[in-house]
Amino acid sequence: MSDSKEFTLKEVSEHATKKDLYMVIHDKVYDCTSFVDEHPGGEEVLLDVAGQDGTEAFEDVGHSDEAREILDGLLVGTVKRMPGDPAPKSHAAPASSASGSSSSGGFGVGLYAVILIGGAIAYGAYNYMQAQQSAN
C-alpha cells in the first residue's frame, strides 16, 4: 500500500458508507472498508466517524498495539490540509473534554483543607502569643 497519496478532508468525507469507509487518525487516512465487519468494537462506532477525523474516538478506547498494526495495514495516504480546514484533532487537547469538573472538585477539597489547617495553625499561634504576653 502506498502512503504517499494526499487527500483533502473533503475527499475523505466522500468515503463515508459501510461499503466505502475512510477515516482520519492522527492526520493519516485509512481505508477501513474491509475491516468494518471484523472490528471487535462493532461496525456502528466506525460508521459514526466514517469520512471524519476519528483520532479522539480511536484513542479514547485505548486500542492495543495489535489494533495499531491493523491500522497500519489500512493506510492509504495522508491528509492534505486546506486553508479553513479544522485543526487536527489531538487526543491530548482538553478542549472537548466534558468532564473536567471531577479534578477541579478534588482541588477544591484540597484547597479547603489547606485553608482550615492554615487557619487552625494561625489561631493556635495567636493564642500562644497572647498567653506569652499575659505571662510577662
Rank residues 32 and 79 by Cβ distance to ligand HEM and give the closer one.
32
Which position's Cβ is nearest ligand HEM? 41
Number of residues that bind ligand HEM (CB under 6 A): 21
Rank residues 40 and 94 by Cβ distance to ligand HEM and give the closer one.
40
User: DSSP class of residue 50?
Assistant: T
- Judged by CB under 6 A, the chain residues 20 through 79 that form the site for ligand HEM are 23, 30, 32, 35, 39-41, 45-46, 49, 54, 57-58, 61, 63-64, 66-67, 70-71, 74
With CA atoms as reference, report the closest residue to 56 among 31, 7, 91. 91
With CA atoms as reference, report the closest residue to 12 among 92, 89, 91, 81. 81
CA atoms of 125 and 136, how far apart (whole Å): 17
CA atoms of 121 and 1, how far apart (whole Å): 69
For the beta sheet containing 75-80, the strands, ordered from the edge strand earlier in sequence to the opposite edge, are 6-8, 75-80, 28-31, 20-25, 16-17
Rank residues 8 and 64 by Cβ distance to ligand HEM and give the closer one.
64
| Interface with ligand HEM, residue 1, by CB under 6 A | no
Which residues make up the interface to ligand HEM (CB under 6 A)?
A: 23, 30, 32, 35, 39-41, 45-46, 49, 54, 57-58, 61, 63-64, 66-67, 70-71, 74
